[in-house]
Amino acid sequence: MQLARVAGTVVATRKDPGLHGLKLLVLQPLAPDGAAAGASLVGVDSIGAGVGETVFIVRGREASFPFLPRQVPTDAAVVASVDSWFVDDTAPES
């Protein structure tokens, strides 16, 4: 899973019925230091995330799980809004 920033929204009126009523968000994956890391992608919102927020995304088939039993054809979903995080990757090999 990855940290990401909600960078925008996508509107698509003609779409698979499985996506009806769900918000499509433009997501920019982030490195632990908060910098953009890698290409942006589109994911389905499952928690009511807002543009500009830092979130947590899951990719692949599991991205459809937050919506079960409903069958949502997505390979990326926002599953959490992040309040804060701490990383110390300078720690010595223990």
Partner 1 sequence: MLLARIIGTVVATQKDERLVSSKLLVVQPLDAHRAARGGQLVAVDTVDAGFGETVLIVSGSSARLAGQLQETPVDAAIVGIVDTVELTEH
Binding site for partner 1 (CB under 8 A): 5, 7-16, 18-19, 24, 26, 28, 39-43, 51-52, 60-61, 63-64, 71-76
State which residue, 54 or 80, has the beta carbon closest to partner 1. Answer: 54
State which residue, 46 or 74, has the beta carbon closest to partner 1. Answer: 74
Measured from the CB of residue 86, what is the shortest distance to partner 1 in angstroms?
22
Please state, in angstroms and rounded to a whole number, the distance separating the CA atoms of residues 94 and 92. 6
Measured from the CB of residue 94, what is the shortest distance to partner 1 in angstroms?
36
Nearest C-alpha neighbor of 57 from the set 19, 18, 11, 24: 24
| Strand order across the beta sheet in which 41-45 lies | 24-30, 41-45, 76-81, 54-59
Q: Do 10 and 23 meet the contact criterion of CB atoms below 8 Å apart?
A: no
Measured from the CB of residue 84, what is the shortest distance to partner 1 in angstroms?
18
